Structure 1
C-alpha cells in the first residue's frame, strides 16, 4: 500500500459540530481543504451507531482515496476495512492487535511519556500520537500536558526508526507555528504530522480551517533559516547595521519587566532610539501586540496576575510574528518561578533567552552553576558549550551573561569581553540588557525585507543572533565609556552617565572597542 501522509490528521468528534453542520458535510469539506488522514473517534456511541458512522466515513474517504483509521475499536476497523486502528495505552497490546488485523494495517498508539514511546518503538508501532501537547476540551486527560518542549525528547527516542510521529492535544492554527518550531529534537528529528480536532470540526468553514493548518504545517517544514553571517567581522557589521536601524526605525518595545528596574529600563530603551511601553494587564495584550515590534518578558517581580498577562502577551506576539525576549530572573529561587517559566516556554516560543549562569543552569536543569536570589554563584566548566546546547534545546538564541558574555544560535557561539565592573554593581544591569536585546531584535525583525510571507515562520526572518551581539556590545561598551568620565565617582553617578553614553553611542565606537571572537568546537 502507498505510505500514509500524516501531515494533517483529522480526529472527528461529532459533539463539536456547529449547529446545522453534519458529520459527513464537515468531513468532506475538511478533506477538500487538505486533511490527509482521518480518524473516527466515537467515545459514547454504541456499536451499531459507531459502525454506521464508520461505514459512511469510509465510503467518503474512499472517494477521495484517503486513509481511514478507527479509534480503539478493532472490530469496527475490521468490519469497515479501515486502513488502520489507533490504540490507547489501556487498549489491546500492539502485538495482539497485529495478529488480528490484516497484513498492511496501520497501527498507531497514544504516548504521553518517554517510556511509552520506547515501548511503542519496541512493539513496532507504525506511528505514535504524542501528547497531549496542551490542555484540550475534546478529551479528558489522564496525564498532564507534555508541552512543546516535551516533544523533542520523544522524537529523539524515535530517531533511527521508521515510526511516524504525530502531535495531538490543543493544536490550532494560532499555535501550530510555535509547535513546529519548538518541537524539533536535538537530533534534528521533526514531526511527521499534527492531529487536529476542534479547530476543524468546530469551524464554521472546515475547508478554510484545514487549508490554513496545512499551509502553516508545510511552511514550517520548508522554511529554511536565513543564512546569517558567520565570521566575526560579518556579524559585527550586521550588529552595527541593526544599531543604526534602532534609531531610524524607532521600534515600539513592549516590556513586562520587574518594578525595581522599570524606570531605568524605559530610559535605556529611549537612549538606544527605541520607544518603551510598560504594561502588564492581560486585557491589553491583544491590542498591544498589534502596535508593538517586540516583547520583553522579565519575571523579576512575578505574581500570578502578571503571569497571566505574560502568557497572553506571548501568544499574541507569536501570532504577530514579532520577537519575544525572555529574562528568567531568579528562576531557580522558587518552584513558583520554575513552574511559571516552564509554562511560559510551553505556551509560546521565545526568540532570545537571556540570563546569568545560575538562572540558565536552573532553566536547563543543570547543577553546574547555582544562584543566590537573582545573583549567580559560579559558572560552567565550558560556558560556550553549555550556551550552544541550551540554544539547541530551546530552539532560540541564548545569551549567557557574566564577566564574559556568550551568545549562541545553536550553531555558532560568540564570546564578548567588554564591560566595566560598575555595570554589575548597579541594580538591574541584567534587566536593562533585556531591554537592549528587545530593542535590537525589534529592529532586526523590521529590517527583514525578504518578502517572506510564510505563516510557518514565527518571526519575519530577522537576524537575532547579530541583534543579541549588538545589544550586549552596546551596553557593555557604553559602560566602559561611562566609567571613564570625570563626573562618575561611583554607582550613584554611573547610571545616568551610562544612559548618556548609550544615547550618543555610535557604530564607530563599538567597532573600535568591541572585544568579540567566535568560539570554535
Structure 2
C-alpha cells in the first residue's frame, strides 16, 4: 500500500533530520520512551517543569502528552506546552492512559482535547471509547477492558467524533483520520509482557509526526513497534531479553521493511 511506502520514506527522513521530540510522559516508562525515541532515530527531551515547557515545546518538532502518572502540576505543564506547541505549528500526540478509570483522569483528557488541537490520539479501545462517550468508570486501569474487535467502520467513526487521527492498539492495530482507515496485524503477544510498549508506541508516532502527516505518522509509529516486536520475539527467551532486543530491533528497522513486512488486515478510503 502507498501509506506503507510513505511510512518507510518517513523513517528515512526522520533519521536524516533527527527531530527533537518533547515528551511530558509517564514516570513508569519515561526511560523506555526516551530510548525508543533514540532507537528509531529521533532525539528525546523529557522536560516537565511548568516554568520551561512552553519554551521547549516551541523548540521541538513534536510533543507527547501522556497521562500515565497524572498529577495536577503535570496537567498544568501539558496545557502550557500544548498551547505553545499549537501556536508554533508543532504536532501534539496525546496518550490518554487510563482514561475512563476516574472522573479526574477523564476530565483531564477531555480538557486537553478541548484546549489543544491534537494531531494524533493513541490509546487502547477502552480509553478511546471513554473519550468518545465522555464518561468515566468504564476502564479501571491502564489495560484494555473493552470487548470486541475494532473494525474499520468503528475506528473511522471514532476519528470523526474526536475530529483528529485516532489510533487504537491491540491484537490488531487500527488507525483512522476520519477519511482513510487502516488495520494492521503486526506484533507479538510478548509486547503485553513488558510495561510501556503502548507509551513507547506513542513516542514513535510523535517521532514520525515530526516529519510527515498525522495519518502516515500513526502508521509508521504503530508498524515500527509491531515489526520490532516480531523481530525481538524471535531472538528472546522471555520478557527480560525481549525488552532488551526490542530497542535493538527498532534501531535495525529499514525503510523497505514497512511495505514488505506490513500485514494489512483491512483498509478503507
Shorter-chain-normalised TM-score: which range?
Answer: over 0.9
Corresponding residue number in structure 1 for 2:224: 474
Residue in 2 that maps onto 1:515: 263
- Pick one of 501, 507, 515 that aligns with 2:249: 501
Q: Distance in 1 between matches of 2:234 and 2:184?
A: 20
* Equivalent residue number for residue 483 of structure 1: 233
Runs of 4+ in 1 over 6 A off after TM superposition: none
1:212-223 superposed matches below 5 A: none
Summarize deviations over 1:291-310 as a string: whole Å, max 9, x none.
10000000000000010000
Map of 1:94 onto structure 2: none
8 Å CA contact 2:101–2:138 kept in 1: the answer is no
Evaluate the alpha carbon distance shift between residue 482 and residue 381 of structure 1 in structure 2; reply closer, same or farther with a 3 A threshold.
closer
Taking the TM superposition and a 5 Å limit, the aligned residue runs for 1:283-432 are 283-365=51-133, 370-380=138-148, 383-432=151-200
Match for residue 465 of structure 1?
215
Deviation at 1:372, TM superposition (A): 3.5
Q: Is the Cα contact below 8 Å between 2:106 and 2:134 reproduced in 1?
A: no
- Residues 121-160 of structure 1: pairs in structure 2 closer than 5 A: none
Report the alpha carbon displacement of residue 473 of structure 1 after superposing the two structures with TM.
0.7
Aligned to 1:438: 206
Aligned residues: 268
1:271/1:499 contact within 8 Å kept: yes
Distance in 1 separating the partners of 2:251 and 2:149: 36
The 2-side partners of 1:322 and 1:298 are apart by: 16
**Could you say what the CA RMSD is over the residues aligned between the two structures, in angstroms?**
1.7
Secondary structure (helix, strand or coil) at the match of 1:489 reads: coil
Mapping of residues 84-233 of structure 1, within 5 Å = 233=1
Alpha carbons 2:156, 2:178 under 8 Å: kept: yes
The alpha carbon displacement at 1:366 in A equals 7.5
CA pair 412-284 structure 1, distance change in 2 beyond 3 A: same
What CA distance in whole angstroms lies between the structure 2 residues aligned with 1:302 and 1:441? 24
The normalised TM-score by structure 2 is 0.95
Deviation at 1:343, TM superposition (A): 1.1
Residue 466 of structure 1 and its aligned partner are, at CA, apart by: 1.1
Counterpart CA distance in 1 for 2:2 and 2:260 is: 15
Is the 8 Å Cα contact of residues 261 and 428 (structure 1) preserved in structure 2? Answer: yes
Q: TM-score, normalised by structure 1?
A: 0.50
Instruction: Write 1 or 2 for the structure with the bigger share of helix.
Output: 2
Give the gaps of 5 or more residues in structure 2. none
Give, in angstroms, the shift of residue 419 of structure 1: 0.1
Q: Which runs of 5+ in 1 are unaligned?
A: 1-232, 445-462
- Aligned pair in 2 of structure 1 residues 381, 496: CA closer, same or farther (>3 Å)? closer
Do the aligned residues in 2 keep the contact of 1:357 with 1:370 (CA within 8 Å)? no
